[in-house]
Structure 1
Amino acid sequence: MLAVNVRFYVKPCEEDAVEERMKVFASECIDNEPGTNLYTVIKDKDGLGTIEIYEDMDAFRAHGVTPHHD
């Protein structure tokens, strides 16, 4: 199992739009990527982020080359 935590620093005026797009992307990851066990968007006072859990390194690598990742 592999866990990844990514932080995004977004201009405050763009935060809501970016958060919505990130949520759509997270759903696409869960729906279309075997081995992606968790992909969730977090929001706190410092910005946006994701918590991602993959079954293994192969699943993580596959995440980076899926069509919806572009």
Structure 2
Amino acid sequence: LGRTLKKWQKTILAYFDTGGASNGGTEAVNGLIELGRRIARGFRNLENYRLRMLLIGGGLDASTHTQL
């Protein structure tokens, strides 16, 4: 445990220096977009793909947007 804490000391202390800020939100959106990318394989139209990523990244329910 001691070696692990020493190894990660700068990173752990940086968390407190930034007021607890993290990139967790960004990573969550990236994960959703990656999931959407896997699901959207086969989209032939780049605009449809772009709109799908915006729907997924924005947290909208695609079933309510029937015209996309």
TM-score of the superposed pair, with normalisation by structure 2 = 0.33
Q: Judging by fraction of residues, say which structure has more helix.
A: 2
TM-score of the superposed pair, with normalisation by structure 1 = 0.32
